[in-house]
């Protein structure tokens, strides 16, 4: 590459002088130009802007004023080192051309915009450290001048909050050894294993390492960076005074922080250095609780705390307005519009609305969940003294009694009568000589509307099912085998058929004939109306698992496949579970899916069952974490073990 014959220092001085001369010329010209110079004037606003850019200033609106220059240290941090500048000046032809040819201004302006240094390049560069990468930056700066793009000078540096910066991770491992080995190790309050132990991924900051021996006590060491080696000789050194902290809570699985560091979930037992400790208990949906505990050396301190649930709220909208709203027997006043009731304890509540001239409204099963608002819409109906009722029966021709008084026969056109609004007792029966095979029916029924007509929904009298009746009598006497014989005769079209299959399941379970139970559910599923019943599908899933454990391999695989299909149908229709049992039954559906998938993998070694099981446990814990726990710690602990097993298998086998 050709080197320039002009010394580099001389080039720097020439460039500096030329820039200063141009600056003086532009400032003098700008001062003498009329304020009303046209946009096309060679010395108008465009030239002033170009001159200000060249010198590192920003043009303000109407009145140009110099912007504050950044500190020299900031410019030095970004300017190229002197050696790199000299090499670029000697090796690149465009660099020497900038000094020798007239159009210096335009190139110089663009170069200044690319590098935000306010001082002359040569002076600033002499203070910068020599770094190899700066050569590439100088070499790439020259071509930019061909397509100028103005870069605004912004002296306001963006501030980065310290909390947004990630904690640096130490680039090695912390090796913890002891004599003798096999000693429990706690790092920042968390038990990580026993010595010898290599801990990786610790943050690049100080950490407290405690080695705990049940007889010698605790031995505390500090690691300043999260890497290195710690060795403790327990045969010579004396341990710190140590006690044991046992923490229990209601509910379970509450997060525990000891002295600001996370320790685990309740129930928790952990050795701590003797002294005063601050304990923070926290769980989503519950009010945090902080307590202080003094622990003496050699003793066990037990902490048992109950966390209060966070309250929910109600939004009550009554039509028409002006009704008195009563919650759990306490009047909340008159609702003239939407009424927001705050701080309502989670659980089931009774809500009542009363207004003169209207039928009172009441519900005793309004469920409020923590940190949620339950909206209740109430429509009050005007009061009238009487209602007109027309009763139809199936089969027709039944004699009807109202509140113990016979009122006639419900023929093809039914039977009509007027009565007071409210709850009444109806009794219906047919003449067995005329219409055999039906039992009498007595019901409690409320008439609250002005007109009530049962033509589209006739009241059905129960059919006499001799086989089911005989089976029930035998089952109550403990004659199970004889009862099974009668239950097999129940017609699938009878109303008693589902109940008969459930009785068969109970008898087979008592007789320990578990492998026969799933077949009874399949008989029910032959009818579409039962196939989508989530409770029956859940029961099918459970009993296939029990039956598979007593069957041979081939039969067990077939049973578990059918059970998983039933559980899938259950999950798809779990919104149809009874509202007060939905959470428990939904969790059990995911639980049994995880168990069945794990058993299937053990029998067939097919990886797809591992994947399905992992998904089932993910759904189980996702639902568990978004609502109140309803299964208890035993279920949850078993679920965690099964999930851990399947996740391990998934990692080994790969998805």
Return the CATH number at 638: 1.25.40
Same domain? For 325 and 289 the reply is no
**pLDDT the model gives residue 104:** 41
Q: What is the CATH number of the domain that holds 432?
A: 2.60.40
Domain count, the chain: 5
Same domain? For 221 and 328 the reply is no
Q: Spell out the residues 6+ positions from residue 538 whose beta carbon is closer than 8 angstroms to its own.
A: 566, 567, 570, 585, 588, 589, 592
Percent of the chain past pLDDT 90, that is, above it, reads 21
Query: Residues 196-241: pLDDT tens digits?
Result: 988 887 887 888 788 777 776 677 778 887 788 888 877 765 556 6
Which range is least confidently modeled, 233-237, 479-483, 548-552, 558-562?
233-237
In a domain, 211, yes or no: yes
In a domain, 393, yes or no: yes
Same domain? For 301 and 333 the reply is no
Q: Cα–Cα distance between 309 and 340 in angstroms, integer? A: 20
Same domain? For 436 and 362 the reply is no
Same domain? For 391 and 409 the reply is yes
Same domain? For 286 and 328 the reply is no
Q: How confident is the model at residue 396 (pLDDT cuts 50, 70, 90)?
A: very high
Same domain? For 374 and 432 the reply is no
In a domain, 58, yes or no: yes
To the nearest 10 degrees (0 to 180), the angle between helices 93-100 and 8-32 is 50
Do the beta carbons of residue 527 and residue 572 sit within 8 Å? Answer: no
pTM of the model: 0.36
Greater model confidence, 556 or 16:
556
413: which DSSP letter? T
Do the beta carbons of residue 67 and residue 153 sit within 8 Å? Answer: yes
Do the beta carbons of residue 594 and residue 620 sit within 8 Å? Answer: yes
**pLDDT the model gives residue 391:** 94
Give the domain range for residue 517: 513-653
- Residue 624, Cβ neighbours under 10 Å: how many? 21
SS3 assignment, position 167: coil
Q: Spell out the residues 6+ positions from residue 279 whose beta carbon is closer than 8 angstroms to its own.
A: 245, 247, 256, 257, 258, 290, 291, 292, 293, 303
In a domain, 524, yes or no: yes
In a domain, 478, yes or no: no
Same domain? For 617 and 643 the reply is yes
In a domain, 200, yes or no: yes
Same domain? For 85 and 186 the reply is no
The residue out of 276, 306, 336 marking a domain boundary is 306
Which range is least confidently modeled, 304-308, 378-382, 650-654?
650-654
81: which DSSP letter? P
The residue out of 434, 460, 486 marking a domain boundary is 460
Same domain? For 345 and 413 the reply is no
The residue out of 263, 279, 306 marking a domain boundary is 306
Same domain? For 599 and 642 the reply is yes
Would you give the distance in Å from CA 54 to the centre of its chain?
Answer: 55
Query: Residues 8-59: pLDDT tens digits?
Result: 555 555 566 666 666 655 454 544 444 444 444 333 444 434 443 444 444 3
Q: Cα–Cα distance between 283 and 263 in angstroms, integer? A: 14
Q: In the predicted model, what is the mean pLDDT of residues 59-64?
A: 43
- Residue 542, Cβ neighbours under 10 Å: how many? 21
In a domain, 151, yes or no: no
**pLDDT the model gives residue 605:** 86
């Amino acid at each position: 590459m050709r080197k320039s014959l002009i010394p580099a220092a001389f080039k720097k001085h020439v460039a500096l002088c030329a820039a200063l001369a141009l600056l003086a010329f532009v400032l003098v010209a700008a001062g003498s130009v009329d304020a009303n110079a046209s946009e096309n004037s060679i010395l108008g606003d465009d030239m002033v802007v170009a001159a200000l850019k060249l010198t590192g200033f920003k043009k303000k609106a109407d009145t140009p004023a110099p912007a504050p220059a950044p500190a020299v240290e900031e410019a030095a941090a970004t300017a190229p080192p002197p050696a790199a500048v000299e090499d670029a000046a000697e090796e690149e032809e465009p660099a020497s051309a900038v000094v020798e040819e007239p159009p210096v201004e335009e190139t110089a302006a663009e170069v200044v915009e690319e590098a935000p240094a306010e001082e002359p390049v040569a002076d600033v560069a002499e203070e910068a450290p020599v770094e190899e990468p700066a050569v590439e930056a100088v070499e790439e700066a020259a071509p930019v001048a061909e397509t100028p793009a103005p870069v605004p000078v912004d002296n306001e540096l963006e501030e980065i909050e310290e909390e947004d910066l990630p904690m640096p991770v130490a680039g090695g491992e912390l090796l913890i050894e002891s004599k003798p080995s096999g000693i429990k190790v706690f790092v920042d309050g968390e038990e990580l294993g026993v010595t010898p132990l290599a801990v990786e991924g610790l943050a690049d900051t100080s950490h407290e390492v405690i080695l705990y021996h049940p007889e010698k006590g605790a031995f505390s060491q500090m690691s300043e960076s999260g890497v290195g080696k710690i060795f403790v000789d327990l045969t010579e050194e004396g341990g710190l005074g140590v006690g044991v902290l046992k923490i229990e809570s209601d509910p379970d699985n509450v997060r525990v922080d000891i002295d600001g560091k996370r320790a685990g979930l309740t129930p928790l037992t952990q050795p701590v250095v003797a002294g005063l400790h601050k304990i923070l208990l926290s769980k989503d949906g519950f009010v945090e609780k902080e307590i202080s505990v003094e622990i003496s050396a050699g003793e066990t301190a037990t902490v048992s705390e109950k966390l209060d649930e966070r309250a929910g709220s109600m939004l009550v909208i009554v039509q028409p307005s002006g009704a008195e709203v009563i919650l759990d027997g306490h009047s909340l006043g008159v609702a003239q519009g939407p009424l927001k009731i705050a701080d309502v304890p989670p659980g089931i509540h009774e809500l009542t609305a009363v207004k003169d001239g209207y039928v009172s409204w009441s519900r005793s099963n309004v469920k409020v969940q923590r940190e949620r608002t339950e909206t209740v819409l109430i429509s009050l109906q005007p009061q009238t003294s009487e209602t007109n009722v027309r009763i139809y029966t199936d089969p027709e021709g039944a004699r009807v009694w109202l509140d113990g008084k016979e009122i006639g026969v419900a023929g093809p056109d039914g039977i009509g009568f007027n009565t007071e609004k409210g709850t009444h007792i109806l009794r219906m029966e047919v003449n067995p000589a005329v219409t055999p095979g039906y039992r009498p029916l007595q019901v409690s029924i409320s008439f609250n509307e002005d007109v009530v007509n049962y033509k589209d929904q006739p009241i059905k009298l129960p059919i006499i099912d001799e086989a089911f009746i005989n089976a029930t009598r035998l089952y109550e006497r403990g004659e199970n085998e004889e009862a099974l014989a009668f239950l097999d005769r129940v017609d699938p079209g009878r109303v008693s058929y589902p109940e008969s299959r459930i009785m068969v399941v109970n008898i087979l379970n008592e007789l320990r004939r578990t492998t026969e139970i799933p077949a009874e559910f399949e008989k029910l599923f032959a009818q579409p109306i039962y196939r989508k019943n989530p409770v029956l599908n859940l029961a099918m899933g459970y009993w296939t698992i029990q039956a598979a454990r007593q069957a041979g391999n081939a039969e067990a695989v077939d049973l578990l496949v059918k059970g998983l299909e039933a559980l899938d149908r259950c999950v798809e229709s779990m919104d149809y579970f009874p509202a007060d049992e939905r959470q428990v039954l939904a969790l059990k559906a995911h639980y049994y899916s995880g168990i069945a998938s794990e058993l299937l993998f053990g029998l067939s070694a097919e990886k797809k069952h591992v994947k399905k099981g992992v998904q089932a446990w993910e759904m189980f814990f996702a639902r568990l974490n978004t609502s109140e726990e309803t299964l208890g710690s035993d279920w949850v602990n078993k679920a965690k073990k099964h999930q851990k097993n399947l996740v391990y298998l998934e990692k080994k086998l790969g998805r």
